[in-house]
Structure 1
Amino acid sequence: MDLMAEARSGSAADGENLFQFAGAQGWNPDLAGPAKLFAKPAYGRLIKAEPYLRKSIPVLIVAFLLIVAAARFLDLLQDRSEIEDTARQATALTALAGSAALATSPDQDSLKYRWRAESHLADSLPPDLLHDGRFLVVASQRGDVYAATANGGEFVGRRIDMLLRDAPQLRIFGTRAGVHMLSVDGDEYYAAVSTNELGLIAAFTPVAMVLKPWKQQVSLNVTLFAATSSILLVILYAYFTQASRARDADEIYLEAHHRVDTALSRGRCGLWDWDLDMGRIYWSASMYEILGLPPRDCVLDFEDVQAMMHPEDESLYDIVAAIETGESNQIDQMFRMRHAEGRYILMRARAQVTQSASSLHVIGIAMDVTEQHRLVQRTAEADQRLFDAVESTSEAFVLWDRDKRLVMCNTKYQSIFDLPDEVVVPGTDQDVVLASARRPVVEQRVAASEHGESARSMVVQLADGRWLQINQRNTRDGGSVSVGTDITQLKRHQDRLKESERRLMATIGDLSSSQSRLKEKAGELSELNAKFLAEKDRAEAANKAKSEFLANMSHELRTPLNAIIGFSEILQNRMFGPLGSEKYGEYADDIHSSGKHLLGVINDILDMSKIEAGRLRLDQETIDIAPLIDETLRLIAIQAENKSITIKSNIAEGLALFADRRAIKQILLNLLSNALKFSDEGGRITVRARRHKDAVTLTIEDKGIGIPAAALRKIGQPFEQVQNQFSKSKGGSGLGLAISRALTELHDGAMKIRSKPGVGTIVSLRLPTGKDA
C-alpha cells in the first residue's frame, strides 16, 4: 500500500475543502494558513490594502531618514559657523593682548631680543589665550620674525610678508585689518595682526585644531545615522522576508525533495520501504536507476524483488523469518541483484525494523558497492603481488607490528632459522618465534647506519656454518622489519685474507730473525735476501689479490642490491597498482633506503679497490676551484641546515687546477661529509682555498669532537675509524678519508690532518696546479 501517495492525496483534499469553506464565508481567498480561520471583514480590508502598505513602507522609511539627515546636517553647519566665529574672535583678542603686553613692558630695549620677548609674552599672557594651538610671532620693522611663543618657534627667522602672503591686507603696519584665513606651509590658520613700536605682532590659530571637536561630532552623528539606517533597513528586510516565506514554503519543499533525489542518485544509493504485512516494497527513483529500470510510481510485490536477487544469496524469506523470530531488528545485508542489462551488481542494504500503528515496516537504503568490492579484490591482488615479491627475494625477510607480533615472513627466513609451520603464522608473538628459532653460534653487533637508533645491524653465524648480515629498521607505526643477507662467501674470503696476512707476518718475522744470523753467515746472505724479496713479492701479490677480490665482490654484491632497489622502486611507484595499505609503502621506502646505503658502502669499497689495484685512471682537465666548491657545498646544504651548522667559505679568486673534476669533487664531498657527521648541533665549518707558489691549498676546518693524537697515525688507512661512542653511532665504512688521501696522492698532492679532542679538526690538501692551470 502506497502510504506516501495516500498522505499526499489526503493533504490535497483537506486543503481544497478548507478553501471552499473560506469562500463560503466571504473571506479573501488570498489568505493562507491560520489567517483563514481568524480573519474578519475589517482584517479582510486590511489584507486588500496590504500591497499598497508594503510599497509605501520603504518610501516612508527613506523619507524619515532624509528628514533626519537634513535636520542634523543644518545643525552641524550652524555649529561649525559658531565655532569658526569664536576662533576668529579669540585670534583677534590674542593679537591685541600680545601687542599690549609688549607695549606695556618697562624695558622696551630688551624686547628686541628673542629670548626676552618670548619670556615676556609667556609671563604676561594668560594661558587661555594660547590654547587650541594658538601662538604669537613678533616681527621687526624690517619684517623679520625674531620671536614667537610655544608652537611657533619654527617661524622664527622667516619673513612676515611670506607668512601673510595669502592675506596681503594683514601686512599693512599701523592698521587693524581684521581676521583672515590663510595657508602657511600647507596648513590653514586664522591670522590677526597688531602693531606697536617694536614692529608687528601676528596671532595664528590652526584651523585643524579648532575644527577637530566639530569633526569628531560629525563622525559620531554619521555613525549614529548609519546605525539607525541599518537597523531600519534590517527591519524592512525582515518584514519582506517574513511576508514572502509563506509563498516560498512550497517551492523550498519541492527543491529539498529534488535535492534528496539528486543526492541519492549521485551517491548510487536507493531508498526503500518494505511493508512486511502486505508484502509490498516501495522503491525510490534512484533505486530503479541503479538497476537500469525505468522509474515507476507504484509498489513492488515481494515475488518481483525476490526474482531479481541472485539465487545463491540469502533470500527475502530468510530475512523475514529472522525478523519474525525476533533474532534481529536491523538489517545489514550484502546481496546481488540483476541489472536490466542481464549482469549482476553487488548491493548492500542497511535498514531498521519499525512498528507503525497498522503494520510492520523495514525502512532503509540500498547502496551499489560493486566498485568497492572490485577495489577490495584489487587490493588483495596487490597484497599477493607484494608477498610474491618478498617471497622471491634471495634475502631473509620478516616484518613485526608495533605489538611485536609477526606480520609476514618469507620462506627464506623460515628455512634459515628452521622454524615450524605452526609458528610462522601472522599474529604470533615475537618471543614465541624467537624461542622456536635455531640460535646462532656467533652473534656480532656492527655499527649502525645513518638511521641512528632506529636501525640495528649484526652479523651472525648459524650452526651449519653460514654467515648472515641482519639489518633491522623501525617502521613508522612502531613495528620493525629485518632483512638478512647471506655473506658466507664474503666471510670466507675475509678469513682467507686474514690467514694470508698472518702467514705473511710470520714470514716477515722469520726474515727479521734471519737477518741477525746473516751477519755471522756472510755466505748465506744472498740466499736469504732472495727469499725475503720473494716473500715480499708474495705479500704484494696477496695485497693486490685482496684488492682485486674486493673489486670483483663489490660487483657481485651490487647485482642483488640493484634488484632489491629496483623492486622497491616498483613498489614505491605503484607500477602494478596500489599496495592496499600505506604500511607497505613505508616498508618499501625502508627497503629502498637500506639498499641505497649498502650500495654506497659497496661503491666506496669498489673505488678503494680500483685505487689499490692501480685500475683507476684520472681524466684531467683545467677546472675552476670556486664553482666546484660551491657545487659541493650545495650538495650538503640540507644536511647542514638540519643540524643548524653554519658553513663559511673563503676562496681566493682565480684558482685553477689541472686535475680530474670528479675526483676532486669526491675528495671535497668526503671531507665535508665527515666534518658534518662529527660536528655537534649549531657547529661551524670553514672552507678555505688559496694559491701557494705552484700549488693550491684547500683547508676544511670544523669544531667537532676531534681526533685523539694516538689515532691520527692510522686515520686515512682503509677501513680505519676512530673508535669512540660518537663514531659508533654515526657509522660508515671507514673508507672516506682513505679514498680522499689516495685520490690526492694520485694527483701528486698531499693530505695533512691536525686535530685535538673537543676542539675540532683541520684537514689540509696541497694539490699542484699542473701544467695547464
Structure 2
Amino acid sequence: MGAHQGRRERTRVRTDAAAASRAAAPKALTATHFRIFVLSALFLLAIYTVVGVARLERSGADSAEARAAGPAVLSAGLAARTEAVVARTDAALSAAGTLLARLPTAPMDAAEAALGAAKPAVRAVAVVGDDGVRAVSGDVQGDWTRAARAAAASGRSLWVGQIGRGAGGHTYAARSVTLADGRVFLVAVLDLTGALPQSDPASALLIATPEGAVLTAEGRGGVADSLSLKDALHTDQVSATPAAGVLPDGGQVMVAGQPVADGALVAVAATPGKAAAGALAPDRLIQLFSLLAPLGIGCGLALLVFLQIRKGESAQKAHAEAEKRFRVAVEAARCGIWEWDLDEDKVFMSDITATMLGWGGAGMVAGAEILERVAPDHRDRVRQSLESARAYGAFDVSFRVLLAGRNAVWIDARGQTSGEAGKGGYRRILGVMLDVTEERVTQARAQAAEVRLRDAINSVSEAFVLWDRHGRLLMCNKNFRAFFSLEAKLTKPGATYDAVRKFMRLAVKQEHAALDAGAGVREAQMDDGRWLQISERRTAEGGMVMTAADITAIKLQEEARRLNQEQLEEAVENLEHSQIQLAELARKYEAEKIRAEGANRAKSEFLANMSHELRTPLNAINGFSEIMVGEMFGPLGDRRYKEYCGDILNSGQHLLALINDILDMSKIEAGKMNLSFEPLNLEDVVEDCVRLVRNRAESTGLNLIVDLPELPEFEADYRAIKQVLLNLLSNALKFTPHGGRVTVSGERRRDITGDRLRISITDTGIGISEEDLARLAKPFEQIESQLSKTQQGTGLGLALTKSLIELHGGDLEIRSKPGEGTTVTVVLPVHQTGVLAPAAQVA
C-alpha cells in the first residue's frame, strides 16, 4: 500500500513538473517577438523615409511653379515638408514605444533610440510617467511633465503643440505607451526649422499652431522675430484661400495657410503677389540627407539590439549550465533544493527535498500541501517568513515536519528571491533545505545539561567563577556579580581575567592573606563594609576556579568584642573625669547665674528709665511741634518755620516709634508681653490700618487696594494685629516707587492644624533677592547698607511683626523677586484654644 502511494506521488509531482515546463515554454519566445517588433519599427521608419523623399522630389520639381503660383502653393509645399518631419518623429516615437514596452525598466534606451532615429527633426526625447520624468536624452531641458499632461488631455495618439513662449518655449510631440504599471508618454522637442526652405526675400514662411502661436518663421519684414500670427501678419485666421495681410515692417502681402498633422499645426506663406523671379532653390542634398540619416541610425540601433539579444542568450545558457553544476554540488552534500512560486503557490522540489518532506521524488507540488505537513505550531511561522520574503526578498525559517510512521524531522530552510519585485512584491523564492534533526537533539541535550549546571552554581550561597587556561571567563553565578558589584555585560563568557580583575579591585577596600587558611586564600574588605574570604585554585586543564564566601558576620563578632573591650576601658576613664568636670561646671553655673540675673535687672532698670526719660520729653516735643505745625495760636511768620516744625514732629514721632519697638521687642524676648485675645473682624482691623496710611499712599502716588472676601471672626490681640498690619503696610509703601500698587487680600484655608486666615500684602516695589530673604525678620537687620540706604528704619519692624505673629501661634511667609515686587503673608489660627504661645499664656 505504501509503495503504491509513493509511486502515485512520484507520478503526480513529475506530471506537475512537465506541466510547469510547458507553461514556461512560451516565455522562451520573448526574444523572437522582440526581434519582430524591432524589424517592424525599422520597416515603418523606412516607409516614412521613402514617402518623405518622394515628397521632397516632387517639391523640388515643382518649386519654381509653386513659387510662381503664389502663397497657396507655397503654404502647400511647406505643409508637405512639415508633415514629413512630423511623420518621421511619429515613426521614431512608435519604435521607441515598442522598445519601452519590451524593456520597461530601461526608459533611457527608449529615449536614446527615439532621439537617434528622429534627428535632426528632434532635439531631445523624454519618458514621462505618473511618477514624473523617468529618462531624458538630448541637449534641451524641456517642460516634459506639462507637455505630457497636454498630450493626455488632447486624447490624440500623436499630439503636437507648444509649451511656453519666446526663448523659453518649445514645440513638442508626444505619443502614449501603455505599460504594466500604467500609461507612459514619449515626449520629443521638435525642430521645425528644417521644414523651411530658403525662401524668396520678398516672401515669408511660418509654421504656427491653430491658436496663432508662431513656432518657427523665415522671410522678410521681421516675421522671424514674431511670436504670433497677429504680430507677424496682422491676422488671426488663415485658410487655403489667399487673403490680405500686413508684415511687421508695413509691407502688404497675400497670406494663405494649410493644416498639418490632422490640424495640429498650420503652414502659412505670405507673398507680395506673384512670386519674384530669381528665387533661390532649396538645398536638396541636405534635405535628402536629413531624411535618410534617421533610417541609417535606426538600422545601427537595431544591429546593436540584436547583438545584445545574442549576448543575453549566451549568458542565459551559461547561467543554466552553472545552475546545473550548483544543483549537483548541493545535492551531493545532502542539501535539498526548492523553488517556490508565490503567485501560483507552487513549489518545485529536488529529490532530497522531496525525501525530507515525505514525497517519493522530485517534482512540483502545491504550497498548501507542504504547509499541511508542517507542525501546526510552526505553520504561522512559515507563512510569516513567506510574506516577509515577498516583501524584502530573504527567507530563513526552521520548522518541524510531521511524517506518518516516523519521528518529527527538524528542517532549516533558507532562500533568496529571484527576479525583480512587482507591485505585490517578489514572486519567486529559490533556496535550500537541511535536515538538522540530529543537531537539534544534540543541542537540546547540551542546553539542558548546561541549564542544570548553571542552576546548581547559582543556587550556592558562595560566589563562583571559572576561567579557562587562556584566562577567558567560562561561567559565573549571580553571587559573583553581586559580591563585586559587576555589571552583567562585564561578565559575559569570553571576558579576560585581567579586565574583570580590574573592575573587581574597584569594589575592594583592602585585602590580606588569611591566617591559617593555606595558600591561595585571602580575606578582602569591600567598599560596602562586607568581608569576603576568597579562594583561587587551578583546574586540571590549566584553568582557574575562584570562590568567595561572605564572612561579614564573623568579622563583625570579632570587631564587636574588640569594641566592647575598648568601650569598657574608656567608660571607666570617662567616669573618673566626669566627676571632676561636674564639680567645676556646678561652680561655673552658679557664678553665671548670678551674673545673668544682675544683667537682667540692669536691663530692666535701663528700659524703665528710657521709657520715662525719653518718652516724657518726646511727648512735649511732639505736642508743641504739632501745635506749631497746625498754627493753632496764629501764623509763625516765615513759611520755613512751619517746615522746620514739621521735620521736628516727624523726627520725634519716628524716635518715639523706635523706642516703642525696642521696648516691645525687649518684652517679647523676656517673655513679658501681655496679649488680650478677643473676637476680631479682619475687615475692621484692615480698615483702621488703611485709614492711617492712605494719606501717605496718596501723597506718594500709590494705589492702595483692599480685596477682602467675607471672612469669619478670629481670636487675636487687637493692638498686636494692628501693629503687624501697619508695619507691613508701611514697608510696602516705603519700598514701592511712584505709580505702584499695594494690595491687601485675605482668604480662609483649612489644613491639618485647623482653620487658618491668610492675610497677604502685595506690592509692586523693588523686591528682595533670594539671598537677602534669609536675613529678614531678624532684629536690626536691613537690606540696604548704612552708606546706600534710601529709607529710614532700624530693622526692628519685621522682627517685631514676626514675634507678634508667633505669639498668636501663626506664621510669616515672604515671597519676592527683584524688580517684580514682594508678597508678605500672615497666617493666623481662627481659634486660639490650645495653640496659645507661652508668653501669651503667662499673660
- Asked if these proteins are the same fold (TM beyond 0.5), I'd say no
**TM-score under structure 1 length normalisation:** 0.30
Bigger radius of gyration among the two:
2
**TM-score under structure 2 length normalisation:** 0.28
